[in-house]
Amino acid sequence: MGKKSRHKKELKNESLPVTNPPEPGVTKTRPVRNQSRPAILVTASITAAMVFLFAFFLASANSYARQATEYLQQGNVQQGLAAMQKAAAYSPLNADYHTVLMRIYLSMGRPRQALEEARRAAALSRYSAGRQADLARASLAAGRYTDAVAYARRAVELAPYQIAWYETLAATCAAAGRGELQASNRDAARRHLEEALKVPEMIQARVAGLGEEEKKLWVDAPMLSVTPGVHLGMGQARYLLGDLPGAEKSLQAAMQDNQLKGEASLWLALVREKQGKTEEAKKLVKEAGQINKSLEAIFQQLKAVPALQG
């Protein structure tokens, strides 16, 4: 019995697992839990929240923009302005919203705010000729005539094969010259007015720079030429420079475009008035008024602008 009992104890001891003591200086490590999963979940949550917020702001901006359009169509300018301001606040990177704000401010006679919005829109669309043209328009309203001409030039530089920006440049130079004349800055006025007369040379130089193959491929739009829109700006400039025969010729060319006929008739009436042809001037003013009622009142304002002499 004693031997059997001793043998069972030895077998029992042999069945126990053997654990070696840790070596001196070695730290026993525990299994590391996977900590990347919570981080991934946090990142995903943040991304989802950002997407939701972006969609919310975009939807809100679109909603306010639609409201603004409805108000403006109804003639509610103040409510339209408030709605468009909210649209721009929800979507500040939308250049179109700032452009609409610019136009609203111009219609309200607030040129400083209009210029600020035009600058914001241009900053968001740095290579847009249209944004530069808007800057020119807002600068004219704010009395910053040199800046206005510079912006109009920039529009031509950005889109040299689009005739609209040459028309904008001619009109801007003429308007800047008129503004300087009203401010008694005759030298600056002459400089701007004479630049308007150089626009046809710019167009001709651009066309001359085209190769024969490029001219053949020019099929999407009419070839660059001096349009009635360019003639209108030149006619205004020539009148203000005291060149009545030249003004008459340019303005008659501008009248070939029905959309410009009212404004061209108004300026031709000024020419006729200077020539002493009062009855013909009255007839032209009446014709202009039938196209646009506001032009009859503008005639008296333009008549008071002092013209340069030769």
The number of folded domains in the chain is 3
| Residue 34 domain flag | no
What domain range includes position 168?
127-225
Q: Pick from 190, 225, 260: which residue ends a domain?
A: 225
| Residue 235 domain flag | yes
Residues 23-40 have a mean pLDDT of 52
Residues 136-151 have a mean pLDDT of 98
Contact, 115 vs 144, CB < 8 A? Answer: yes
295 lies in the same domain as 207: no
User: What CATH number is given to the structural domain containing 155?
Assistant: 1.25.40
Model pTM score: 0.80
Residue 39 has pLDDT above 50, yes or no: yes
CA dist 88 and 118 (Å) reads 13
User: What CATH number is given to the structural domain containing 68?
Assistant: 1.25.40.10
What is the structure's pLDDT at 10?
A: 47
204 lies in the same domain as 267: no
* Long-range contact pairs involving 270-274 (C-beta distance under 8 Å, separation at least 24): 270/239, 270/299, 270/302, 270/303, 271/239, 271/244, 271/247, 273/303, 274/239, 274/244, 274/307
| Residue 203 domain flag | yes
Identify which has the larger pLDDT, 19 or 149: 149
158 lies in the same domain as 196: yes
Residue 30 has pLDDT above 60, yes or no: no
251 lies in the same domain as 198: no
Task: State the pLDDT confidence band at 213, using cuts at 50, 70 and 90.
Answer: confident
